[in-house]
A and B are shown apart, each in its own frame.
Chain A
Amino acid sequence: MREMTDFSGGVFHTSLADGRAAAEIQVTSVGLVARTTDDQVFEIPFGECQLDVGGASGRMVFCRTHDRQLTIFCEHKEFPAALELESVGEVSDELARLFRRNRHEAHHWRMWLLATAAVLMIGLIGGYYTLLAVARASVHALPLSVDQKIGKLALEAMDFDGPPVNDPVVVDAVKQIVARLEPHTGLAGLTFEVRVIDSATVNAFCLPGGKVIVNTGLLKMAQSPEQVAGVLSHEMAHAVKRHGLQRVTESLGIVVAIELMVGDVGGLLALGVELGKTAALTSYSREHETEADLVGVRMLHAAAIDPLELANFFERLKKQDGDLPAAIAWISTHPQHDVRIAAIRGQLENLGPREYRDLDIAWEDVQQHLKPLQGK
């Protein structure tokens, strides 16, 4: 097969109108001949050819005269082979050296790039988690009024499963349970408000700032006020540990982290309302659930309410689970109750003995008052 000797390329020379021109390049046995589109001819013998390799592709071969007045260049992949062949090895070593240099530079660049990318990635990830950790810590430095504002606005914006219950027997019973737990939260300044909703869905939650919402479905399901106290202690613990606000910082990430650190909570409030609504309804992180269990059990223990009643309520829900899977929202957002029952029992062993007192609530009476409610 005959080797290629004619290629498309170009010429740089001061005599050309624009200093350069496209040209057809012929590789001859004595050197390079370039013929421009205007039929101007330029020649460089191999003996006067200073080679270089580069260009945008990194594969362009330049042949310059010693005075650098004339440069002929070509990017065709067969061009180096034609040069070697026609020059009978005169330029082989130089070409090989130049391509080797380019490969070495490319390799050097790739390594530098990889190292820089790795350093940047580590820096970014580290910086992100550091900022997030600082933001989490900053949550506790914020006044409780921020939680209360978010809770209040979220409460106003929420769609409940049913209408509020005004029956004083039912509402007072829940208030009494909350009042028994409230002194033992360990967070001064946090007060709780109770709202009972007429809904068959077995659910209860606590909005940031201490707004406790309990569905009649959950009250009906509970066999004793202590079981309700068990659930509420866990939910109140979320408000005590300010998990709602922490979720806001985690969900909104770095921007909020920075806002928290510089003390600008204006944007946080607006965004917090939306997240505050869902914070109580959707699941918290496993870490937050475990912490709420721990704090809840501690609160129950301090309030002299038997924490085992929470475990008993779990057992009861487990049995009912098959019958009412869709209605038991509280369980669906709090998975793995077997693990949690075991954890509660384990924690109780460490808390030491205590004499528990039943709540002074006529539970039968409360159940009677719950019966006529619609429970939508």
Chain B
Amino acid sequence: MEVEIRNRPSFANVLVKLNPDDRLIAEADAMASMSGSVQMKTRWNGGFFPAVLRRMFGGESLFVNEFSSDEPAELVLTQPFPGDIECLDLKGNAMFLQPGAFLACEPGVDLGLNWAGVASWIGGEGLFRLKVSGKGKVWFSSYGGIFQREIGSEEYIVDSGHLVGYEPSISIRVGMAGGIFSSFFGGEGLVTKVRGPGRIYMQSRNFSALTAWINAHLW
């Protein structure tokens, strides 16, 4: 299977060249186009109850599609919002993805839902997080560009809504950017404080900020 992420960073999409016996799991509605020979099987996203949980709390869809082909074929996957797509190559390690970030993975990857805690929810990062583990490639998407950062034992601050993914070795705390006054009137509100060791992925745009901006212009 050959995979290319095209049109980065604003309107990224994944071009997959499937060989016979290749299989790819993708988020429902991620397919933009495909060869006529590609077979698509729809199944619950990890069984009925896990699928419902992922839908309710993980921001993922109830179903996932499994793509395969008996002959060389092409498949294009994309995300519903403008932004970049990044590929992770899991080799027995794991990664947490924020709700809605998962796009596609190889069959060897396990998708699990993990309790993120009330703090994460209050910080606008969701009550649950998607845990991808096992072996294989995972593609995840962002709103805006994706950039990564290695975090050491020193604290690093990410504004709410900008965190896309992080390794399990990263500890997360929600706090205020400054004092009560500067946090709320400075427009930063609550922020996510991360501490390593580990790697985090961030997105350059923020959905909540966009919706707030639109809302402000509706009235």
Which residues of A are interface residues toward B (Cβ below 8 A)? 8, 10, 12, 19-22, 37, 52, 54-58, 60, 62, 68, 71, 73, 75, 109, 113
Contacts and interface: CB of A to CB of B under 8 A. Distances in A.
B7 to A, nearest CB: 26
Contacts of A54: 169, 171, 195
A114 to B, nearest CB: 10
A56 B168 contact: yes
A60 B93 contact: no
B168 A71 contact: no
B150 A19 contact: yes
8 contacts: A20-B199, A54-B195, A56-B129, A56-B167, A56-B169, A62-B169, A75-B168, A109-B173
Contacts of B116: 56
Given A54-B195, A73-B197, 10 more contacts: A8-B92, A37-B92, A55-B171, A56-B129, A56-B167, A56-B171, A60-B169, A75-B168, A109-B119, A109-B173
Interface in B156-199: 166-173, 195, 197-199
A24 B166 CA distance: 21
B122 A22 contact: no
Contacts of A62: 169, 197
A20 B93 contact: yes
Contacts of B173: 109
A57 B129 CA distance: 12
Nearest to B166: A56
B169 A22 contact: no
A55 B93 contact: no
A52 B195 CA distance: 12
B96 interface: yes
7 cross-chain pairs, A with B, having the tightest CB-CB distances, nearest first: A22-B92, A54-B171, A22-B93, A56-B168, A55-B169, A37-B92, A12-B197
A56 B197 contact: no
A164 to B, nearest CB: 40
Interface string B120-137: 001000000100000000
B118 interface: yes
Nearest to A264: B219
Contact of A10 (B129, B169, B172): B169
A334 to B, nearest CB: 38
Nearest to A12: B197
Contact of A57 (B92, B168, B197): B168
B91 interface: yes
B101 to A, nearest CB: 15
Contacts of B197: 12, 62, 71, 73
B119 A113 contact: yes
Contacts of A56: 96, 116, 129, 166-172
A73 B168 CA distance: 10
Contacts of B198: 20
